[in-house]
Amino acid sequence: MNNGIATIDRDIEKISGDTQRSLKSLFGVRLKRAESPYVTEWVPDADVAESPDSITLHVALPGVKKDAVVTEVKENTLLISGTRETGDDEKLNIIRQGIPAGRFFRAFRIGVQIKPSGVRAVLRDGILQITLPKYSAARANKILIE
């Protein structure tokens, strides 16, 4: 009977996680994360800024190593995924883990055409900065009225 309860609990957590990711992706809304041993993927927080020449994202990836992050641009979507490993130090008796661990994923729809070959990413101090240069045709051009 315990297996049935565990299965229901996992199903509820999956639905909750799917809802969380959908709200975050569509509206930038994040629900408070429920504490559960079944949640295996997390969504990193991010700031997005736009200038006339580019779009810049700052994605919070605390404790994530550079080689554990994958970034790619597909059509008009930036995809960021990877893994934050938990400490394997058995001497630590973690009572509560507040920094997310395990797999993460985040997707951003880009509303303008970008130059995929010019995309730059730097991970420093737990922040992944991604700069997406716009095609010159996507930049606003002022029109001189005669």
Ordered by start, the domain boundaries in the chain are 1-39, 42-138
Q: 102-109 and 41-42 as β-strands: parallel, antiparallel, unpaired?
A: parallel
Cα end-to-end distance, the chain, whole Å? 80
11: three-class secondary structure by DSSP:
helix
pLDDT one-digit tens code per residue, 70-129: 999 988 889 999 999 876 666 677 777 788 888 999 999 998 888 888 999 999 999 999
CATH number of the domain at 42-138, please? Answer: 2.60.40.790
pLDDT one-digit tens code per residue, 24-67: 666 554 554 555 555 568 899 999 999 999 999 999 999 999 99
Residue 134 has pLDDT above 50, yes or no: yes
Residue 12 has pLDDT above 70, yes or no: yes
Whole-angstrom Cα distance, residue 135 to residue 143? 18
Whole-angstrom Cα distance, residue 17 to residue 102? 14
Residues forming a β-bridge with 124: 127
Res 35: pLDDT: 52
Res 123: pLDDT: 97
Q: Which residue has the higher pLDDT, 142 or 126?
A: 126
134: three-class secondary structure by DSSP:
strand
Res 6: pLDDT: 58
User: In terms of Cα–Cα distance, which of 146, 137, 144 is closest to 52?
Assistant: 137
